Amino acid sequence: MCSPEEAALLQLEEVFSATLARISNRVLQPLLTAEPSDPQGRECLRLLQQLHGCAQQLWEVTERSLRALRERLRHPDAIGLESLLLLLEADHVLQVHMEYIESYTSCVVVQAFQKAAKQRSRYWRGQRKALRQLLWGVSPEGSMGTALVQALRQPLTHHVQKYALLLLSLRDTIGECHPARELVVRAATLFGDLHSFMKQALDQAEATQALWLTLSSRLRDALCTPARRLLQDSQDVPVTVTPLRAERALLFDDVLVLLQGHSVHTFDLKLVWVDPEQDGCAAHLLTPEEEFFFGSRSPREKQEALERTYEEIEATVSQALGQEHKLPMDDLLPLLIYVVSRARIQHLGAEIHLTRDMMDPNHTGGRYDFLLTALESCYQHIQRDGRHASTAHLPGLQGALVARPPLDQA
């Protein structure tokens, strides 16, 4: 007897095979009819041709798996579970999926779908109805390039996720002594790893594509390659770099890029040596040309710096008023906005998120929590209004604040 999981796998393969055929006919083949004249357009066409080849290989291996499942369900007594392609050639099936994912994400990184669709925009506007058969939620007003990206992504992510779940269920269903158990356990592990690989690859590709939109065209042309992936951006995880005062640090899977004004410093990761500090908040980075120090204060240090800032503000207010004054939130907020605006702290939003996420739960509702909430309100006000708070209601305070010695940066 065949298990319900095997029947579900058969249905899954039938749907995916038909979907791949529609993607090839309605998306990939029309995209390949573009005739770009510029080098970037020709590179995008090459990537799309490569993706079409990978899609064809994926369809062929899906058809082979489908035929094996059909034979198994027709003759369950004569054909054993171990004959299924998903189990017998799990490594090959996995490799074909990975090649397709890598090819697809390379197209995403360089916006190959958007650029190719733009050349035949009138044709693709007429294909929205057909694309609805491939994915959910195609907006009539949305970008066709984005719709094409989703037309390939949605079926793939659904298919791989269902693969992993059904193989796990099959593993739990068959007995410990079943002759195919070892194959099923191994396949379940492999396709679970494939699901994790796919999620990471898609997230990195989307983050890399989004990064290019924040850079100048000159810098984008210099850094953008199909294989390059963004791993970390200092705008998301705040770090300081010395001796070079880098405004932004971009860590890719092959290079480290430090941006300072119009200057760009690029370091090949094959020639980089990283020596982390014991506290995990700093590292020395050695290259053939330079030595850098990457540092980020620990969340506890950030909280202590915020507390010292509050104490300095309160002491300044008391001095200006000639009497001790405890600051309630209504008085603290405009003063904190003024101080933070003048401090010009880089990546303040990321600093706040990191401190909040790593704050000791025992401090919830305490002084650190109160001060961090005030800083969050301060940041939101600055982001919304982009102007300094008024301190006119406290005479002489503005001059007193300016005269205070500078505080350590939070």
* Tokens 């739990």 found at: 172
Average pLDDT over residues 385-390: 50
For residue 254, give every residue at least 6 positions away whose Cβ sits within 8 Å of its Cβ, in sequence order, or none.
227, 228, 268, 269, 270
The H-or-E segment that residue 50 falls in is: helix 39-74
Quick: pLDDT tens for 345-365: 766 776 777 677 766 777 676
User: Using an 8 Å Cβ cutoff, are 191 and 94 in contact?
Assistant: yes
Q: What are phi and psi for residue 285, nearest 5 degrees?
A: -120, 120
What pLDDT is recorded for position 260? 84
Nearest Cα neighbor of 62 from 135, 13, 6 is: 13
Of 4-18, 45-59, 64-78, 140-154, give the lowest mean pLDDT range: 140-154
Q: Indicate the CATH number of 4-219 among 1.20.900.10, 3.90.76.10, 3.40.50.970, 3.40.50.720.
A: 1.20.900.10
Quick: pLDDT tens for 222-246: 999 999 999 888 877 666 666 666 7
Domain with CATH 1.20.900.10 in the chain: 4-219
What pLDDT is recorded for position 238? 63
User: Using an 8 Å Cβ cutoff, are 317 and 308 in contact?
Assistant: no
Q: What are phi and psi for residue 120, nearest 5 degrees?
A: -130, 50
Q: Give the burial string for 197-224 (b: 16+ CB within 10 Å, else e).
A: bbeebbebbbbbbebbeebeeebeeebb
Q: What are phi and psi for residue 286, nearest 5 degrees?
A: -110, 130
pLDDT of 336 strictly over 60: yes
Residue 345 DSSP symbol: -
Residue 285, SS3? strand
Quick: pLDDT tens for 79-105: 888 899 999 999 999 999 999 999 999
User: Using an 8 Å Cβ cutoff, are 264 and 248 in contact?
Assistant: no
Average pLDDT over residues 197-215: 93
Average pLDDT over residues 170-199: 90
CA atoms of 100 and 131, how far apart (whole Å): 20
- Residue 77: CA atoms inside 13 Å, Cβ hemisphere, count? 0
CA atoms of 356 and 343, how far apart (whole Å): 20
Average pLDDT over residues 20-29: 90
Quick: pLDDT tens for 370-379: 778 888 888 8
CA atoms of 123 and 116, how far apart (whole Å): 11
- The size of the chain, in residues, is 410
pLDDT category at 142 given cuts 50, 70, 90 is low
